[in-house]
Amino acid sequence: MTFNIKKIIPVLFLLLSLNFYGQEKNKVKLILKNGTTLYGNLVEQNEQVLLETTDGNIFVYPNSDVQEIVEKPTPVIRNGAYHSMNFGTLTSDSQFNGTLTFVNGYQIKSKLFLGLGFGIEGFYNKKYIPVFFETQYHPFNKWRSQPFIAADLGKLLLKENESGGLRLGINAGMAHYLSKKVSLMTSVGYRYVNLTRDNDWWYCGDWGDCYHNNNREYKINRIEFKVGLLIK
């Protein structure tokens, strides 16, 4: 199975850009002319304003009583420990591999995530265990759906006949908060892995000429697409 990366990348970025507009726009602050201020979800705004507060109460006011309606996105980011699980694909024009990772970390100053991860990844019909450090930055931490950038650096745990194992990547994506503690993560990015295998084999041609190949270096470049959950 082959994939045309030039066609895949625009589609993935289109999906991410459409999700960018998913923040909770109906969360508002309602200011009445008599000085009363209410917070909640704006259910209706025609000849009258219908507001549902966080405790489930419904208030209806004619437009003539309303002084101002201010959009007020609900902060959903909190400092503290977090855990995430991500499933993804690593693709090139001629390869299609899977990746499954788990990260435990800590959220600092609302926008910055730092964590340590491990998992399982496949390259050239072999499975490896990655161990890595990950960081995420969420610049718009008050949105229900928010963009983020992420980077990771680590190594693959290798077999006896292999060396190297450098693993690094960078991603951009969207965090869609299903609640204050759970978010659905989608991202697309670049993955690089370096491997050297000790093949130690001989090849002999039809004319008796033989070649010895002691090792082979693999510089692996992949486009990575991931979907996962982050729980705090």
Q: Are 99 and 89 in contact (CB under 8 A)?
A: yes
CATH 2.30.30.100 fits 26-71, yes or no: yes
Task: Indicate the pTM of the whole model.
Answer: 0.63
| Residues sharing a CB contact under 8 Å with residue 65, sequence separation 6 or more, in sequence order | 32, 33, 34
DSSP annotation of 93 reads S
Question: 124, exposed or middle or buried, with CB in 10 Å at 0-12, 13-18, 19+?
Answer: exposed
Q: Check whether 226 has a pLDDT greater than 80.
A: yes
Q: Check whether 194 has a pLDDT greater than 70.
A: yes
Q: Check whether 42 has a pLDDT greater than 70.
A: yes
Q: Check whether 229 has a pLDDT greater than 90.
A: yes
What's the rounded mean pLDDT across residues 26-55? 82
Confidence of residue 24 (pLDDT cuts 50, 70, 90): very low
Supply the Cα-derived Rg of the chain in whole angstroms: 25
| Residues sharing a CB contact under 8 Å with residue 71, sequence separation 6 or more, in sequence order | 25, 27, 28, 29
Distance in angstroms (rounded) separating the CA atoms of residues 129 and 158:
8
Q: Which CATH number applies to 76-231: 2.40.160.20, 1.10.150.120, 3.40.720.10, 3.40.50.410?
A: 2.40.160.20
Q: Which of 190, 184, 185, 182 is nearest to 173 (CA)?
A: 185
Contacts 24+ apart (CB under 8 A), 125-134: 128/156, 128/157, 128/158, 128/165, 129/156, 129/157, 130/101, 130/154, 130/155, 130/156, 130/157, 130/167, 131/155, 131/156, 131/157, 132/167, 134/103, 134/105
pLDDT at 207: 60
pLDDT at 120: 92
What percent of the chain stands above pLDDT 90?
A: 32
pLDDT at 22: 42
Please give the mean pLDDT across all residues of the chain.
80
**pLDDT higher for 94 or 182?**
182
pLDDT tens by residue, 44-99: 778 888 888 867 788 889 888 888 888 765 555 567 899 999 999 998 877 788 89
Helix (H, G, I), strand (E, B) or coil at 199: coil
What's the rounded mean pLDDT across residues 181-207? 78
Confidence of residue 20 (pLDDT cuts 50, 70, 90): very low
Q: Check whether 208 has a pLDDT greater than 50.
A: yes
pLDDT at 23: 41
Structural domain boundaries of the chain? 26-71, 76-231
Q: Check whether 189 has a pLDDT greater than 70.
A: yes
Whose tokens are 């705090």? That residue is 232
pLDDT tens by residue, 118-142: 999 888 778 889 999 999 999 887 7
